[in-house]
């Protein structure tokens, strides 16, 4: 199967069957999403959503978090992975957000990455989800699923995956496609045991093609 055909099939199926796909993180404004995405690094959205209500009640705006010390923030996020580093990053992020951006989360990926704790993936998530920027955030699900399906070839880093996906997915679909791949990886294309029998895009999946060829070889 040609790569363009694979992309066309996958995009067409998701467009028809999942026209609405959104982040599973709970947030009410750009500041809260930014905090949540920073916390979600190497941690599940479910755990983050269990943690943030108390955190946001204590620090509802960046000005209040900017006045806190990392040790204080730590007490609210200690059930999250790497709480010490994330507490430092959250306070640093809030202080810079207040001092340099007038407490407004920037919509530019480059500016977002100047904030403590914000890498390319986090910046892309905020830009895509809040500002509908035509960017492709690549987390572990997107990296794994896109390779397994066959949408990427030989990508060794998240950036390489991002560049390949943005080359073939129409720009206006990138914010939505990001969620397609994440949700597909969480609920269908599981890391250890993909549910190929329940997968709507299996006919365009490289992994499924290899599995079927293997079955044919065994039968012969």
The set of catalytic residues is 121, 139
Contacts by 183-188, CB closer than 8 A, 24 or more apart: 183/18, 183/21, 183/24, 184/14, 184/141, 184/145, 185/141, 185/142, 185/144, 185/145, 186/141
Q: How far apart are CA 73 and CA 169, in angstroms?
A: 39
The residue among 14, 22, 20, 50 whose CA lies nearest residue 130 is: 22
Q: How far apart are CA 94 and CA 105, in angstroms?
A: 10
User: Can you read off the two tokens belonging to residue 218?
Assistant: 């065994």
Encode 12-46: b = buried (16+ Cβ within 10 Å), e = exposed.
ebbeeeeeebebebebeebbbbbbbbbbbbebebe
């Amino acid at each position: 199967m040609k790569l363009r055909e694979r992309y066309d099939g996958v995009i067409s199926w998701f467009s028809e069957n999942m026209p609405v796909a959104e982040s599973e993180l709970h947030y009410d404004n750009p500041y809260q999403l930014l905090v949540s995405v920073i916390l979600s690094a190497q941690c599940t959205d479910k755990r983050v959503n269990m943690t943030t209500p108390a955190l946001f009640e204590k620090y509802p705006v960046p000005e209040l978090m900017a006045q806190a010390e990392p040790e204080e923030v730590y007490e609210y996020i200690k059930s999250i992975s790497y709480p010490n580093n994330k507490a430092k990053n959250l306070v640093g992020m809030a202080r810079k957000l207040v001092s340099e951006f007038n407490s407004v989360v920037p919509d530019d990926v480059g500016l977002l990455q100047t904030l403590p704790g914000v890498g390319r993936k986090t910046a892309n998530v905020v830009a895509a989800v809040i500002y509908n920027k035509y960017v492709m955030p690549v987390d572990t699900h997107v990296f794994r699923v896109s390779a397994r399906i066959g949408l990427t070839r030989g990508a060794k880093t998240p950036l390489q995956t991002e560049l390949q996906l943005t080359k073939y997915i129409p720009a206006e679909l990138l914010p939505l496609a990001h969620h397609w791949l994440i949700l597909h990886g969480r609920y269908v294309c599981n890391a250890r045991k993909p549910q190929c029998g329940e997968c709507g895009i299996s006919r365009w999946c490289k992994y499924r093609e290899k599995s079927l060829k293997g079955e044919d070889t065994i039968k012969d």
